[in-house]
């Protein structure tokens, strides 16, 4: 089969497997490598030290270091739900919509393996390959733009003019020649600054990067320590991730499909978790509830840290007795100092004499400085 026919048949099979976008690029060095290296040099990756390792930098700068036989890179996208207005939030927590259903780290690898098997069948020979979905040392959005899937928007997301940005990316490095697509060179953000204006923590920067140290997604997922005091109020009700910069984007409001891939159909109680109920999750209950969910990545200690902050924000200044009682119990008995620390902060936010008394009592026996 010639390269053109093979490329088209691979794209057709990718779409059959649920990848709504499929493009091909070459294994050349990334166009935005200098932006990435400058971002690292300024420390904007926070505690994600794996991004800054020498080996990681080398491989991101030169894909053949990952697969020496690489001749083509197939870039794929699968959609997830994009209709947060359909979820009744009230005083509940908020979870980024990519995490409403199954974990894409569990879903997409099987599809990628199937696609590789199809490619090898069509080619009539084993094909050297390596696939990733947010798991390898690749500049994914750079590759996606080069393969024609869209442009990197001001909110740092890859935006497709027909699909918006509510999709997950995956890549297959292939030791076979496919026909590359023309890169997406247009910038269709124009003069719009809605994402920059709406970001709760002002983490989005003018050069289409963001300061991860201020990003709510980083703070609620990647950060393993305490959330900085000055950023806790801005986290609002978000307990895992954040969608604000996507929600306000005109391309999503006009074109992003409301429904995602069936694998990411929302699970009950995940999109808008009851904060008081979540605060009482034991380690066993947490593991049961979030088995197979991206939320498990935060671990119980990180998730309950986020829940405590959200409670402090939602009930700030109310002195709500039910909330105070729940937070006081956590401060008294939770085994994780990180959770107790944020429960103490939340009690201070909720306020009232009962909260003040709970803090005073806890100060007498708290072992963590």
Alpha helix segments (H runs only) across 187-243 = 194-198, 216-217
Tokens, residue 48: 């994600």
Rounded Cα gap, residues 144 and 142, in angstroms? 5
Rounded Cα gap, residues 368 and 208, in angstroms? 40
SS3 label, residue 203: coil
Rounded Cα gap, residues 133 and 104, in angstroms? 8
Is the Cβ–Cβ distance between 345 and 229 less than 8 Å? yes
Give 238's Cβ-side CA count (13 Å radius): 27
DSSP 150-174: -EE-TTSSEEBTTTBT-EEEEEEEE
Helices (H) and strands (E) in the chain, counts: 15, 8
Torsion of CA 111, 108, 23, 148, to 10 degrees: 160
* Residue written as token pair 């057709």: 12
Rounded Cα gap, residues 1 and 9, in angstroms? 10
CA–CA distances in Å: residue 53 to residues 45, 58, 235: 12, 9, 29
Q: Which residues are part of the catalytic machinery?
A: 134
- Three-state secondary structure string covering 314-353: HCCCCCCHHHHHHHHHHHHHCCCHHHHHHHHHHHHHHCCH
């Amino acid at each position: 089969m010639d390269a053109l026919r093979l490329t088209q048949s691979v794209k057709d099979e990718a779409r059959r497997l649920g990848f709504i976008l499929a493009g091909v690029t070459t294994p050349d060095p990334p166009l935005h490598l200098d932006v990435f290296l400058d971002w690292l040099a300024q420390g904007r990756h926070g505690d994600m030290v794996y991004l800054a390792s020498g080996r990681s930098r080398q491989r991101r700068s030169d894909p053949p270091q990952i697969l020496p036989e690489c001749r083509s890179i197939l870039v794929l996208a699968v959609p997830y739900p994009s209709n947060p207005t359909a979820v009744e939030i009230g005083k509940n927590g908020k979870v980024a919509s990519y995490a409403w259903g199954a974990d894409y780290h569990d879903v997409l690898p099987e599809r990628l393996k199937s696609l590789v098997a199809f490619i090898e069948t069509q080619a009539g020979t084993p094909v050297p390959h390596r696939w990733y979905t947010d798991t390898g040392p690749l500049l994914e959005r750079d590759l996606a733009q080069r393969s024609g899937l869209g442009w990197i928007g001001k909110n740092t997301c890859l935006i497709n003019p027909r699909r918006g940005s509510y999709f997950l990316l995956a890549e297959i490095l292939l030791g076979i020649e496919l026909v590359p697509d023309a890169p997406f060179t247009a910038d269709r953000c124009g003069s719009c600054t809605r994402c920059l204006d709406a970001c709760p923590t002002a983490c989005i920067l003018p050069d289409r990067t963001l300061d991860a140290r201020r990003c709510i997604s980083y703070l609620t997922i990647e950060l393993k320590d305490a959330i900085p005091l000055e950023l806790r109020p801005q986290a609002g009700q978000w307990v895992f991730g954040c969608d604000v910069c996507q929600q306000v984007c005109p391309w999503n409001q006009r074109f992003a499909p409301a429904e995602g891939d069936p694998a990411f159909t929302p699970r009950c109680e995940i999109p808008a978790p009851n904060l008081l109920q979540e605060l009482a999750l034991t380690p066993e209950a947490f593991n049961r509830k979030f088995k197979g969910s991206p939320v498990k990545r935060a671990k119980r200690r990180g998730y309950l840290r986020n829940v405590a902050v959200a409670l402090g924000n939602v009930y700030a200044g109310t002195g709500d007795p039910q909330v105070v009682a729940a937070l006081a119990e956590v401060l008294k008995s939770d085994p994780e100092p990180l959770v107790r620390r944020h429960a103490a902060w939340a009690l201070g936010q909720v306020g009232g004499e009962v909260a003040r008394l709970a803090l005073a009592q806890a100060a007498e026996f708290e072992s963590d400085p």
